[in-house]
Structure 1
Amino acid sequence: MAIAQQKLVSLNVRKLKNLVELDVDFSGSPITAILGPNGNGKSTVLHALACAYQPVSNGENHKFSNFFLPSTDALWNDSYLEITHTYRDGENLHENIKTVYEKMARWTPKYARQPKREIFYFGIDKCVPMIELEKKQAKINYSTNEVDEKIFNIILSKASQILNRKYLKYNIHTASRKDFIGVDVEGLRYTALSMSAGEQKVFHILTKVYNAPKNALILIDELDLLLHDKAMTTLIKVIHARSIEKSLQIVFTTHRESVIALSDIVNIRHLVSTSSKTLCFNETYPDAINRLTGEQPKPLEIFVEDDFSSAIVSKVAAQLGGKRLVSIQRYGAAINSFTAVSGLLFSNQVISDSLFVLDGDVYSTEEKKRDRLKKVITGTDDLAERYREAALQAIKQYRLPENIKPEPFLHGVICKIGNVKNAEHQEIIAAANDICVADESHRYIDDIIEKLGFDRQVGLSKIVDLVSTTPDWEEYVADIYEWLQNKILPLIEPN
């Protein structure tokens, strides 16, 4: 039977190099970006994935010994990882199959028993200009053949778009039985020997992505290296479109946090290592990551999901006269709150002055919070239990009616205010009443801001100011208000 429709769902690493107890989810977009500080295991994730499959026919053949070569100081014994994957074998669909890889004396399972999928890996070596690898000191003679196939014309077009140059021809040059690419650019012909490293890298990636068979997994280490922001952004958009067209999965590492702006088409996964666990944040902002690797900037710190929640917390702190004492940082998706609080605990940091605020529409009960914490803080010993209890106490939420998100709820609060004397508030109320149904929950607030032409941060602040005048406000922020009140009042010197 033909193996097809392969999809990588997740990677769990118990131990591999410096990775410890790591879980990475690849669901969502077909493209995943792995971010994180140097030395936190981004490349190790790619190496593990490169070795997890055997090729179907013409893919690359990577073995664990290629990336985890035993040495005097590192035998890689006790390494253990697991992938969850889906595939079709003829008419039979196999979903969420788990394959375990471990090394005692040798790696198991045997290579012939590994799942099949075409894998293509791009290491940092692909960034070295070809001329630096060429050993000849004399003239290099080569023959040239223009490639006029449709797929290579598409590659030329996409490269022109990414690098802002008008590429006219794609050539294959042959010298001493070795082939390398070349291009014609507005009357100038040159080979990979004369390409810049960034240009050469773009052509390498595009050639592989556009020629890869359906359902292939493509791994790219440091995609951003040697590319400026605009070229990197355009390249990601191009390979995303191709991944949709050919059912590819692409995983790349990057140091460039500007990739977060593409979170609508890219899974953002941030890795941060502590002494006992490697944390993975999903769709997060740099704030939470920076906090784990830095110091607490103010006496009190509050982590929130997004800028709307930040405006709400800022208003509560201002009402208590302690805004200057509070640092507000965003962690992104709600699931990251559990990862962030656990990260501080694993780093042996005190969290008594740290609060993690959920919007209240997910993980809304204590039971759901405990279940999630058990997945991040594993173990049954006393330390794990103490960490889970401490984390639970540090997580609070806005009080929302059941099955409603914060934006439509607060929109409803504004709509029922009626007439007020403040002209600006009245205009916000009128704009809210013009919005009957929004196509996405955030639009209930975003549309008000756009209708009135506010700068986003200014608009959020004005909307929160208005909501804070209503009877619903006190109940909505009650838990956050109580925590801040207990923390701020002792820190404010009496007049």
Structure 2
Amino acid sequence: MVASQQKLELLKVRKLKNLIDLEIDFTGSPVTAILGPNGNGKSTVLHILASAYKPIDSGENHKFSNFFLPNTDALWDDSYLEIIHSYRDGPTVHNNVKTIYEKTRRWMPVYARRPERDLFYIGIEKCVPMIEMEKKQTKINYATSEVSENVFVTILQKASQILNRRYLKYNVHTASGKDFMGVEVDGLRYSALSMSAGEQKVFHILKTLFNAPKNALILIDELDLLLHDKAMMSLINVIYERATEKSLQVVFTTHRESVIALSDIVNIRHLLSTSNKTLCFNETTPDAINRLTGNQPKPIEVFVEDNLSAAIVTKVASKLGGKRLVSIQRFGAASNSFTAVSGLLFSNQDISSTLFVLDGDVYSTDDEKIQRLNKVITGTDDLAENYKAQAMEVIKQYQLPNNIKPEPYLHNIISNLGFTDNEEHQEIIDAANEIVVADESHKYINDIIDRLGLDRGVGLAKVIDLVATTPEWLEYTADVQAWLSAQIQPLLEPRGAAA
């Protein structure tokens, strides 16, 4: 029976090349973008995945030795990793299957026993223009034939959309026994020998994407290389549409942080290596990554989930007279707070003046926080236990009622305020009362701002200014207030001190 409906769910790497104790999740969208600074293991993840499967039909057959060739400095012994995946074998569905890969004298399992899945790997060599690989110094004569299959009509349409050029024909040229592609644009015919590297790469990706069989895994290294931002974003949208249509999974690496704008259709995974562990941030903004690779910009730093939380911390710090002393970084999904704090600890940085603020709707109990820390700070030795204790000291949260998210809670506070003499505040209250039910929790605040016609940053500040006048404010922000006050007060110059 041939396997089908394959899905890659999780990759765990205990050790391989520069990856240490990495766990990266591929569930959610069928498309995953892996970001991170150079040398942090993005390409290594693709090389692992490319070697993890054996082909069923038309897929490529890569081996670990293709990417991890033993050499004088590295035999890759003691490498160990796992993939968690699912598939259907006839009527039987196999979920959460673990396959272990390791190397002592040779890689195991043997290639014939790898899981089955058609796979295609597109490396950065596909960016090299064909003319740079051509060795002939004389005229190249080739025969041309047009390809008219429906799939190539689609490829031409998608390429036109991505590259903003009107591609009319797709050709195959033959010279000296070799075939290579060519196109026609508004009456101009040219081959891959005359194509730009970015153009050639887009067509190669599209050919792979639209010819891949159902359930295939496609890996693309440095998707953004040689593409301008608009073309890259358009290409990702095409990839997502095709992956959804054909039950494909696509994993690509990129340096372009603008891809975060597509987080509603793409899994965003940031990798960052420390000497002890490779960290993976899910759906994060660049703020946390930049902080972990740079210096603390101000004496007090606070990591928050989103812009709403940033506005709340700004207000608390301002009321304490220490706004100028506090830098605020955004870490995105709540789980990233545990990854970020462990990253600072693994980098031997002092976290005593660093705060991680959770919204309070998840990981709200100490047991839940410890369970999450156990995933990123592994081991039970004294150092690991010390790290976990330090982390618990600097992870705080807002006080929310059970089973409610921050935005509906704040909206409810505002809606119940009634009448006020402050015209600006009254306008916010009136806008809140116009919103009875929102189809998504963030809209309870975003819709207030939209109704007022304000810039988002300005609107958040005004909304929080109003909430800060209510009796609920002090209880809601109590943990954050207490921590910030203890940090700020010693740094404030006593009133009347000499300049």
**Residue correspondence of structure 1 range 179-328 to structure 2 within 5 A:** 179-328=179-328
**1:456 and 2:456 aligned:** yes
Note the C-alpha offset of 1:274: 0.3
**1:90 and 2:90 aligned:** yes
Note the C-alpha offset of 1:204: 0.3
Inter-partner Cα distance in structure 2 for 1:150 and 1:429: 57
**Deviation digits for residues 120-141 of structure 1 (CA, Å, limit 9, x no counterpart):** 0011100000000011111111
Inter-partner Cα distance in structure 1 for 2:326 and 2:421: 32
**Deviation digits for residues 10-44 of structure 1 (CA, Å, limit 9, x no counterpart):** 10000000000000000111000000000000000
Inter-partner Cα distance in structure 1 for 2:398 and 2:180: 60
3-state secondary structure, aligned to 1:135: coil
Inter-partner Cα distance in structure 1 for 2:255 and 2:165: 26
Inter-partner Cα distance in structure 2 for 1:402 and 1:74: 53
**Residue correspondence of structure 1 range 131-142 to structure 2 within 5 A:** 131-142=131-142
How many pairs does the alignment contain?
495
**1:10 and 2:5 aligned:** no
Runs in 1 of length 4+ with deviation above 3 angstroms? none
Partner of 1:363: 363
Inter-partner Cα distance in structure 2 for 1:487 and 1:456: 29
**Deviation digits for residues 464-495 of structure 1 (CA, Å, limit 9, x no counterpart):** 00000000000000000000000101100111
Inter-partner Cα distance in structure 2 for 1:288 and 1:12: 22
Partner of 1:431: 431
Inter-partner Cα distance in structure 1 for 2:361 and 2:175: 63
Partner of 2:54: 54
**Deviation digits for residues 40-68 of structure 1 (CA, Å, limit 9, x no counterpart):** 00000000000000000110000000000
Inter-partner Cα distance in structure 2 for 1:388 and 1:193: 57
Partner of 2:335: 335
**What amino acid maps onto 1:2 in structure 2?**
V
**Deviation digits for residues 342-366 of structure 1 (CA, Å, limit 9, x no counterpart):** 0000000000000000000000100
Inter-partner Cα distance in structure 2 for 1:361 and 1:294: 30
Inter-partner Cα distance in structure 1 for 2:175 and 2:305: 56
**What amino acid maps onto 2:99 in structure 1?**
T
Inter-partner Cα distance in structure 2 for 1:284 and 1:470: 32
**What amino acid maps onto 1:476 in structure 2?**
Y
Inter-partner Cα distance in structure 1 for 2:433 and 2:149: 57
Partner of 1:108: 108
Partner of 1:118: 118
**What amino acid maps onto 2:69 in structure 1?**
L
- Root-mean-square deviation over aligned CA pairs: 0.4
**What amino acid maps onto 2:405 in structure 1?**
K
Inter-partner Cα distance in structure 1 for 2:380 and 2:104: 26
Note the C-alpha offset of 1:272: 0.4
Inter-partner Cα distance in structure 1 for 2:311 and 2:227: 35
**What amino acid maps onto 1:124 in structure 2?**
I
Inter-partner Cα distance in structure 2 for 1:174 and 1:413: 72
Gaps of 5+ in 2: none
**Deviation digits for residues 137-159 of structure 1 (CA, Å, limit 9, x no counterpart):** 11111111101111100100000
Inter-partner Cα distance in structure 2 for 1:492 and 1:64: 58
Partner of 1:41: 41
**What amino acid maps onto 2:111 in structure 1?**
Y
Inter-partner Cα distance in structure 2 for 1:173 and 1:392: 64
3-state secondary structure, aligned to 2:355: strand
**Deviation digits for residues 438-477 of structure 1 (CA, Å, limit 9, x no counterpart):** 0000000000001110000000000000000000000000
Inter-partner Cα distance in structure 1 for 2:435 and 2:77: 61
Deviates more, 1:173-182 or 1:345-354: 173-182
With the length of structure 1 as denominator, give the TM-score of the two structures: 1.00
Partner of 2:19: 19
**Deviation digits for residues 184-226 of structure 1 (CA, Å, limit 9, x no counterpart):** 0001000000000000000000000000000000000000000
**What amino acid maps onto 1:440 in structure 2?**
E
Inter-partner Cα distance in structure 1 for 2:220 and 2:492: 52
Partner of 1:472: 472
Inter-partner Cα distance in structure 1 for 2:333 and 2:179: 47
3-state secondary structure, aligned to 1:28: coil
Inter-partner Cα distance in structure 2 for 1:103 and 1:381: 27
**What amino acid maps onto 1:238 in structure 2?**
V
Inter-partner Cα distance in structure 1 for 2:488 and 2:320: 7
Inter-partner Cα distance in structure 1 for 2:392 and 2:250: 36
Inter-partner Cα distance in structure 2 for 1:3 and 1:46: 22
Partner of 1:444: 444
Note the C-alpha offset of 1:177: 1.4
**What amino acid maps onto 2:215 in structure 1?**
N
Inter-partner Cα distance in structure 1 for 2:73 and 2:315: 55
**What amino acid maps onto 1:122 in structure 2?**
I
Inter-partner Cα distance in structure 2 for 1:399 and 1:42: 38
Inter-partner Cα distance in structure 2 for 1:380 and 1:306: 32
Deviates more, 1:171-180 or 1:58-67: 171-180
Inter-partner Cα distance in structure 2 for 1:247 and 1:179: 30
Inter-partner Cα distance in structure 1 for 2:121 and 2:394: 42
Note the C-alpha offset of 1:2: 2.1
Identity of aligned residues (%): 73
Partner of 2:491: 491
**1:353 and 2:353 aligned:** yes
Partner of 2:406: 406
**What amino acid maps onto 1:150 in structure 2?**
N
**Deviation digits for residues 371-403 of structure 1 (CA, Å, limit 9, x no counterpart):** 000000000100000001111111000000000
Inter-partner Cα distance in structure 1 for 2:173 and 2:118: 27
**What amino acid maps onto 1:67 in structure 2?**
F
Inter-partner Cα distance in structure 2 for 1:380 and 1:490: 35
Inter-partner Cα distance in structure 2 for 1:145 and 1:390: 68
**Deviation digits for residues 218-275 of structure 1 (CA, Å, limit 9, x no counterpart):** 0000000000000000000011000000000000000000101110111000000000
3-state secondary structure, aligned to 2:473: helix
